[in-house]
Chain A
Amino acid sequence: MDEITNQEKKTFWENLLSIDRRIIFLFIIIAVSVPLFFKTSLEIPVSPVVQGVYNAIENLPAGSKVLISFDYDPGSMPELQPMAESFFRHCFRNNLKVIIMGLWPQGPIQANMALDKVFKELKEEEKTVKIPQYGIDYVNLGFTAGNEVVIDRMGHDFQESYPADAKGTPLSEIPLMQGVRNYDNVDLILNLSAGYPGTQEWVQYAVDVFHVKLAAGNTAVQAPSMYPYVQTGQLTGVLGGMKGGAEYELALKRPAKAVSYMFSQAVAHGVICLFIILGNIAFFTMRKKKTS
């Protein structure tokens, strides 16, 4: 009987070590999707790097101009779109003027999607909040090819890269763009980035050369490589992945998508940790058996 039991135990640990990855995938599907059906109120302390982004926008006087560069595509939407919507909410709440651009072709389209969402919310609050007007409160310059060359040239003259906005209207005919020549006339730059060109290029070509103020939102994978720039002061702050987006929403006191997704992410992380623990137990058990 003992021999049979020992064989079963051995088989179980061996199976665990060489588990079919589809079983892991199944657990992940359940861990990610089921929590989405539950509503929870989360307490997440706002980290200093996120507070830096919040303060950079909050401290701007009304009427200040903010340039937001949308450098991502639909693949990164789950992480970056909530940040984009929060940026718009924050800017319009504080009566800041927003200039939208993109170094990725899909970027300005993502911006339009975020604007649609935020405007729908504002319309529900129409009695208390003014609906931003195109050309006066915000403008979308669209996409232009050239990557970091665009960033460099905008430091001299926006018109070198953007003679007109996304609809073809010359910048000289847009009220918001009157007097906006280059970065000297912009009070803050926000960058939402999922890769190249992205925050690193904005730091290298805008901050280091033209000494602009820059805050960023990045995917979780990219965020760690931005921490050196936050430490040196080249970035005022960075929102890293879903957690950064959730912290920012809580700082704004406007919990939205990122906060609701955090529960899902938390459960998924827990499941992965559980698998790692089980895997290590199996590994040590098998190693012990081999040595004995």
Chain B
Amino acid sequence: MKSRSNSKEKLKFLPFFLLVTVFFFLPGIPSMIGAEDITNPDAESTKVIQTTPAPPINVTVKDIPNDKGGAVTISWEKSTDDGGGAKNVAKYEIFRSTQRDAGYEVIGNTVAGATSFSDNAAKNKVSYFYKIRAISPAGVAESLPSASVFAKRQWFNLSRLTLFILSLVIGFAIFYFIERAKSEKGLFIRKIAGLEAVDDAVGRATEMGRKIIYIPGIMDMDSMQTIASVTILGRVAKLAAQYEAKLEVPVCRSLVMVTCREVVKEAYLNAGRPDAYNDNMVYYLTDDQFAYAAALDGLFLRERPATVFLMGQFYAESLILAETANSVGAIQIAGTAMPTQLPFFVAACDYTLIGEELFAASAYLSKDPKLLGSLKGQDVGKFIFLLVIIIGVVFLTLNSVLGLNLPNLGRWF
């Protein structure tokens, strides 16, 4: 028979045994429930519980506006592991499907740190779902699927609405004044000194028995300035034919050569001097900017022309040409719409057509009422811009001085 006092003494030690058991077995509990052996000092991952990176979140999608369709933009918040650490995200993959929960295919990838992607291969009016997968050396993690989105074609680019309205107003003004000019006579246009001097310049070449050299710029026929220059060439060629002056047109582009030949040939025909025309009057030199300048410099120094026309789009070679022509005593009439080259022409040439005067030259020289009417329409556009600038400046000044809240007109354009 055992005594009751022995049992109580044993129970006294129970908490101690429980404590020892917990401390002994505690490190083993994670491995018992499936985690790695965290007592193994060699395992790095024993220090972390979660091994995959955090997934990207808040995936939002929208159709790209103001386009012809077929494009969707996907945005997301990047993974919190993007930017450093053992699970640093290396890239994101973008998945697309027409169903929310299945059928996803990868359509592209972006670098770490990116938070948007454009899907330019979406079909219009087809609903798509997107998921983003973050990829790191430690593993991958996918976002939840996005809401559905479909690409659609916009028939009008709303971001250009202001430009459209302005274009309509200015275009209408030009049409209106062209029509009005047909009946109205004597439309006023101020004197442009450079264009008034064209006659004298051509006459000078005839008297001196020296050449007229016409340079139509260094750009191709897709430049409006070249087209304007070729138009002026037609008028100059007609005068040269009438005055029997020698005309030479060295060009920088092949298409310009072809066009100038047609223009000069027609001008000589209209002047009644087809026999004086020769294809070699218009010839190609080179496409290279400075090689062209070198060739022209040599031409000026050898031929010592009486008159040089520099009309069109020029770049750094403008001053080289103008100064060389000046050094041989030629009269120079220049015209360009390049703001960076205008100062050089103004400093070095006898006459300069500044900016829009180059485009007005054809109307000015022909005196055609329809063409003059278009210049008046242009002035309407200028008036609108002037008005907007003045009102805008007044508003901004009042806002900053008086603390008013008048609209910032700059945001409308």
Contacts and interface: CB of A to CB of B under 8 A. Distances in A.
- Do A and B originate from a single complex? yes
A292 interface: no
Nearest to A74: B290
B111 A63 contact: yes
Given A64-B113, A184-B114, A195-B316, 8 more contacts: A21-B327, A61-B113, A63-B111, A63-B112, A178-B109, A181-B110, A181-B117, A194-B315
A78 B41 CA distance: 61
Interface residues of A, number: 25
A219 interface: yes
A225 interface: yes
A134 interface: no
* Among B111, B116, B290: residue with most chain A CB under 10 A: B111
Contacts of B290: 73, 75
A275 to B, nearest CB: 14
A181 B118 contact: yes
The 4 lowest CB-CB distance pairs between A and B, nearest first, are A179-B109, A195-B315, A179-B110, A179-B111
Interface string B194-212: 0000000000000000000
A178 B313 CA distance: 40
Contact of A75 (B113, B289, B313): B289
B327 A156 contact: no
A221 B340 contact: yes
Contact of B120 (A21, A156, A194, A225): A156
B113 A185 contact: no
A41 B406 CA distance: 51
B219 interface: yes
B153 interface: no
A161 interface: no
A181 B108 contact: yes
Contacts of A184: 110, 114, 116-118
Given A73-B289, A179-B109, A179-B110, A221 B316 contact: yes
A194 B316 CA distance: 9
Contacts of A224: 340
A157 B111 contact: no
B341 to A, nearest CB: 8
B186 interface: no
Interface in A214-256: 219, 221-222, 224-225
Interface in B65-114: 91, 108-114
B339 interface: yes
Nearest to B83: A61
* Among B289, B316, B341: residue with most chain A CB under 10 A: B316
A32 to B, nearest CB: 17
A179 B91 contact: yes
Nearest to A183: B118
30 contacts: A63-B113, A64-B113, A73-B289, A73-B290, A75-B289, A75-B290, A75-B316, A156-B120, A178-B91, A179-B108, A179-B114, A181-B108, A181-B110, A181-B117, A182-B118, A182-B120, A184-B110, A184-B116, A184-B117, A184-B118, A185-B114, A195-B316, A196-B313, A196-B315, A219-B316, A221-B340, A221-B341, A222-B340, A224-B340, A225-B339
A65 interface: yes
Interface string B31-57: 000000000000000000000000000
Contacts of B340: 221-222, 224-225
B219 A196 contact: yes
Interface string B109-134: 11111101110100000000000000
A128 to B, nearest CB: 22
A217 B151 CA distance: 38
Nearest to A180: B111
Contacts of A180: 111
Nearest to A156: B120
A34 to B, nearest CB: 24
Contacts of B289: 73, 75, 195
Nearest to B314: A195
Contacts of A76: 316
A185 B112 CA distance: 10
Interface in A58-116: 61, 63-65, 73, 75-76
* Among B110, B112, B118: residue with most chain A CB under 10 A: B118
Interface in B321-368: 327, 339-341
A225 to B, nearest CB: 5
Contacts of A181: 108, 110, 117-118
A184 B109 CA distance: 11
Interface string A198-227: 000000000000000000000101101100
A286 to B, nearest CB: 20
A31 to B, nearest CB: 18
Contacts of B117: 181, 184
Contacts of B313: 196
